[in-house]
Amino acid sequence: MSKVVMYGSVSVDGFIADEKDDPGPIFEWLVSGDVPLDESGEVKVSPASYDYTRQYWDQIGVTIAGRHVFDLTDGWDGQPPSGIDHVVVVTHRPPPEGWDAAAPFHFVDGVEAAAAAAQELAGDRIVEVAAGDVGGQALAAGLVDEVRMDLVPVVLGSGKRYFGSVRAQHLLEDPDVVIQGDRVLHLRFRVRR
């Protein structure tokens, strides 16, 4: 089975965006360097961030995201982001009217169904779960193997939490990766079983 990784950029006080879904300076690290991270050339990071992030992004086969993120991004115009093969959208609603059924997006009800669909689609590649409510639900359900976060030196004070509405304690192992980039600290933790 594929490894399931919860991933996102996060403020030092644990938020991925403010109450209005504005990430503010959370993604500043993605434009603070000299090395293009993708084909667009708009995303430029430090060499250390490139070496860590590009290698990780190249392993992702499927991203699981919530319907809220899907709607905020306008469904990425039907193209999964960053070269990912498929996106599994956790939702209680049908796809948007007029949605291209041939687009590599799969709409499912619940994180367990999303994880099962993503595992099947990913093959031996990584299943990524977006941080936030869906990521927190997947962690609480015991579906996450690893937590990766890009810790950004900003305090938002309030907003959308990295782990969503998780209320129970979940233990992680000590970080086995700590990499300093420009305006970011990349961290990787395995989930303690």
CATH of the domain at 128: 3.40.430.10
pLDDT digits (tens, 9 = 90+) for 44-80: 999 999 999 999 999 999 999 999 999 999 999 999 9
- Alpha-carbon distances, residue 139 vs 36, 125, 167 (angstroms): 32, 19, 11
Q: Are 95 and 77 in contact (CB under 8 A)?
A: no
At residue 67, the pLDDT reads 97
pLDDT attached to residue 82? 79
Structural domain count, the chain: 1
Residue numbers of the domain that contains 127: 4-190
* 81 pLDDT tier (thresholds 50, 70, 90): confident
Helix (H) or strand (E) holding 130: strand 126-130
Identify the H or E element spanning 161: strand 160-161
DSSP 4-19: EEEEEEEETTSEEE-T
Q: What is the full DSSP assignment across 82-124?
A: GG-SEEEEE-SSPPPTT--TTSSEEEESSHHHHHHHHHHHHTT
pTM: 0.94
